[in-house]
Amino acid sequence: MKISELLGKTHRDNPAEVELDSHKLMLRSAMIYQVGAGIYGYLPLAWKSLRKIEEIIRQEMDSAGSQELRLSILQPKELWDKTGRTDAFGDDLFTLTDRKGRTLVVAPTHEEELTAIVKAHVSSYRDLPKILYQIHTKFRDEPRSRGGLMRVREFDMKDAYSLDVSNDGLDSSYKKMVQAYKAIYKRCGLEVIQVEADSGAIGGKDSHEFVLLADSGEDAIVICEGCGYAANIEKARFSRVDYSTNGQSELKEVNTPQITTINGLTSFLDIPTHKTIKTLCYVAREELILVVIRGDLEVNEVKLKSVLGASEIRLASPKDIEKHGLSKGYISPVGINGFRVIADESLLLGNDFAAGGNKNEVHLINVNYPRDFKADDVSDLAQATEGQGCIKCTDEKLKIKKGIEVGHVFKLGDSFSKSIGATFADESGSLKPIIMGCYGIGLGRLLAAAIEQHNDEDGIKFPVAIAPYQVHLIAIDAGKPEISEMAKQVQLDLEQAGLEVLYDDRNESVGVKFKDADLMGMPIRIVVSLRNLKDNVLEVKARDSDQPEKVPCESFVEKVKSLLTERGFYDLKG
């Protein structure tokens, strides 16, 4: 491909109001075009990379025994109503009404349709297990479109679904998919870690994300460098300190004039924060709920939503609190009825707490659970923070790093099959729900993440397996016949060797051509010039190397192959 014929022009300056390196570089190198908020067109360079990512994914999914299919983008809303996800997705769900007045969902994901298809085609345990996948466009009305291809409203995704007769079978399929994902990322040149994650609106039991660590990431990842434990902060567990002492003192009221905060209470009573209980009021499905946690910890709202089984929750407003007759700043679960109480596990690791007295300017001391109040549920509700103990090896302290999610896998279990009625007959003829798993990779996000991880101050440094072209060929003084003829021969020799070449044939300065080569980031750069021709050499430079090499014309193809092989090209290509 000649650059003079390539669609798109490079730009020297970074676009205004763009934060992420990948977004800047993809715009500057003419890989993408912004159509609207969170909507992008892929220009030829990006599309070539995305097609290579697609092919890597297909190869690994097929190797894992998966079958490719293609599902519809438009789906009847009634199908989503069956699973309850019309409400779970909320405003993120694109819908439209057809000419007959029927509401259709513009699919953000395909669990419902896939399950309906499986219901129609699977009847016996002999039909299972199966893993089905597609590579298709999805739509979500993302409220915070940002970061180029990182968070968009229209995106291409590989989603796969495993179908099994048992949880043991699901575990086996899940492991296959995890191994396939690891192979995909390796082949794409990405260094990722597997972390525990929350399932979100997809639902399900166990869930893991594959995360690329990057300072520009919007996800907080909790990591133990001792044992390797890793989790998204929404899911992360940690080892709580046990502050329990022997015995329980008598419950007492204490006058606390104008004391309405934990800090004020600890100062007034001269006690540490871990000797207090704080009670937060949340509203879920119009119900006011008391959430109780030790004073030195914070509530993780994602964990709370999971415990409540609620898609949305919010902190109660002063009007909500007043309406229920509670005293703001003095609320506790002690001595009041009519409210659901959800407690954090930290209340089991301490005693003789100070808490609200449910009267203005009154607190209680020596509060103990479960002696003085009951909880409807005691669960892990606390937010992990840096420096807390690892849940798996308590000698190590947790660290928090930024990351970019590039894949997500879920154990759905039987929730979708039960909702839609997808069953199989077991060996005894009894009908059982199909056990399912779900596995997703966003292609555009993966490309952007690769650029985020592989760049420098001059531009992109593409991993060889997903580079639009392996070689960037530059002709200096391209208008001179001998240079033009030599460059064409170099291009022909490389292409006959199975390599893809981007040929800069423009009548531009050397500086402009070199800057564009660094910006576009192809793995190998070759320069044809009069000086080099006189010496019967070509200048060959790897994008990740500081110095070019003078290579004899008769051996440059072998040299290029060698440089690509060193960077895993043939190995990655499989």
Per-residue pLDDT tens digits for 32-45: 999 999 999 999 99
In a domain, 239, yes or no: no
Q: What's the pLDDT score for residue 573?
A: 40
In this prediction, residues 147-162 reach a mean pLDDT of 95
Peptide bond before 523: cis, by omega within 30 degrees of 0?
Answer: no
Q: Tally the C-alpha atoms within 13 A of residue 492's C-alpha that lie toward its C-beta.
A: 6
For the sheet with 524-528, list strands across it: 501-504, 471-475, 524-528, 537-542, 549-552
Distance CA 353, CA 251 (A): 10
Query: Looking at residue 411, which CATH number applies to its domain?
Result: 3.30.930.10
Binning pLDDT at 50, 70 and 90, where does residue 394 land? confident
Distance CA 350, CA 245 (A): 7
Residues 450 and 50: beta-carbon distance below 8 Å: no
CA angle, residues 371, 375, 381, in degrees to nearest 5: 120
Asked whether residue 55 falls in the same domain as residue 168, the answer is: yes
Q: What's the pLDDT score for residue 571?
A: 47
3-state SS of 348-374 is HCCCCEEEEEEECCEEEEEECCCCCCC
Q: Give the count of domains, the chain.
A: 3
Distance CA 466, CA 464 (A): 6
Distance CA 73, CA 100 (A): 18
How many percent of the chain have pLDDT more than 90? 87
Query: Looking at residue 333, which CATH number applies to its domain?
Result: 3.90.960.10
Distance CA 54, CA 61 (A): 10
Q: What's the pLDDT score for residue 559?
A: 95
In this prediction, residues 194-201 reach a mean pLDDT of 78
Asked whether residue 369 falls in the same domain as residue 272, the answer is: yes
Q: Which one-letter DSSP state was computed for residue 189?
A: T
Domain's final residue, options 345, 379, 413: 379
DSSP string, 101-170: S-EEEE-S--HHHHHHHHHHH--BGGG--EEEEEEEEEE---TT-BTGGGB-SEEEEEEEEEEESSHHHH
Q: What's the pLDDT score for residue 200?
A: 60
Binning pLDDT at 50, 70 and 90, where does residue 88 land? confident
Residue 15: both structure tokens together: 């676009």
Phi and psi at residue 99, to the nearest 5° = -65, -15
Asked whether residue 203 falls in the same domain as residue 149, the answer is: yes
Asked whether residue 110 falls in the same domain as residue 207, the answer is: yes
In a domain, 431, yes or no: yes
In a domain, 14, yes or no: no
pLDDT higher than 70, residue 186: yes
Residues 6+ apart with CB under 8 A from 429: none
3-state SS of 261-293 is CHHHHHHHHCCCHHHEEEEEEEEECCEEEEEEE
Binning pLDDT at 50, 70 and 90, where does residue 357 land? very high
Average predicted confidence (pLDDT) for the chain: 93
Distance CA 116, CA 118 (A): 5
Distance CA 66, CA 161 (A): 9
Asked whether residue 407 falls in the same domain as residue 532, the answer is: no
Which residue pairs, CB below 8 angstroms and at least 24 apart, start in 79-86?
Answer: 79/105, 79/112, 79/113, 79/116, 79/420, 80/105, 80/112, 82/112, 82/419, 82/420, 83/111, 83/112, 83/415, 83/416, 83/419, 83/420, 84/419, 85/111, 85/112, 85/201, 85/203
Q: What is the pTM of this model?
A: 0.88
Distance CA 528, CA 43 (A): 27
Secondary structure (3-state) at 227: coil
Instruction: Note down the domain range covering 137.
Output: 48-216+403-452
Asked whether residue 83 falls in the same domain as residue 174, the answer is: yes
Query: Looking at residue 499, which CATH number applies to its domain?
Result: 3.40.50.800
Domain's final residue, options 379, 395, 428: 379
Distance CA 442, CA 9 (A): 26
Cα separation of the two ends of the chain = 25
In a domain, 512, yes or no: yes
Secondary structure (3-state) at 567: coil
Q: What's the pLDDT score for residue 199?
A: 66
pLDDT digits (tens, 9 = 90+) for 27-84: 999 999 999 999 999 999 999 999 999 999 999 999 999 999 999 999 999 999 999 8
Is the backbone of residue 171 left (phi > 0), alpha (psi -120 to 50) or beta?
alpha
Asked whether residue 414 falls in the same domain as residue 479, the answer is: no
In this prediction, residues 267-283 reach a mean pLDDT of 96
Residues 6+ apart with CB under 8 A from 14: 24, 28
Asked whether residue 135 falls in the same domain as residue 210, the answer is: yes
Residues 502 and 1: beta-carbon distance below 8 Å: yes
Q: What's the pLDDT score for residue 132?
A: 98
In a domain, 489, yes or no: yes
Binning pLDDT at 50, 70 and 90, where does residue 395 land? confident
In a domain, 116, yes or no: yes
Distance CA 114, CA 121 (A): 11
Asked whether residue 184 falls in the same domain as residue 98, the answer is: yes
Q: What's the pLDDT score for residue 204?
A: 55
Looking at the DSSP assignment, which residues form a beta bridge with residue 456?
Answer: 459
In a domain, 204, yes or no: yes
Asked whether residue 70 falls in the same domain as residue 156, the answer is: yes
pLDDT digits (tens, 9 = 90+) for 462-488: 999 999 999 999 999 888 899 999 999
Distance CA 338, CA 324 (A): 10
In this prediction, residues 182-192 reach a mean pLDDT of 94
Q: Which one-letter DSSP state was computed for residue 257?
A: T
Asked whether residue 326 falls in the same domain as residue 434, the answer is: no
Asked whether residue 562 falls in the same domain as residue 475, the answer is: yes
In a domain, 461, yes or no: no
CA angle, residues 33, 39, 40, in degrees to nearest 5: 25
Binning pLDDT at 50, 70 and 90, where does residue 574 land? very low
Residue with tokens 């409220």: 143
Q: What's the pLDDT score for residue 570?
A: 55
Based on C-alpha coordinates, what's the Rg of the chain? 29
For the sheet with 287-294, list strands across it: 314-315, 277-284, 287-294, 340-344, 377-379
Q: What's the pLDDT score for residue 572?
A: 38
Q: Of 524, 542, 454, which is closest to residue 22 (Cα–Cα)?
A: 454
Q: Which helix (H) or strand (E) holds 58?
A: helix 44-63
pLDDT higher than 70, residue 201: no
Residue 231 CA to its chain's centroid (Å): 12
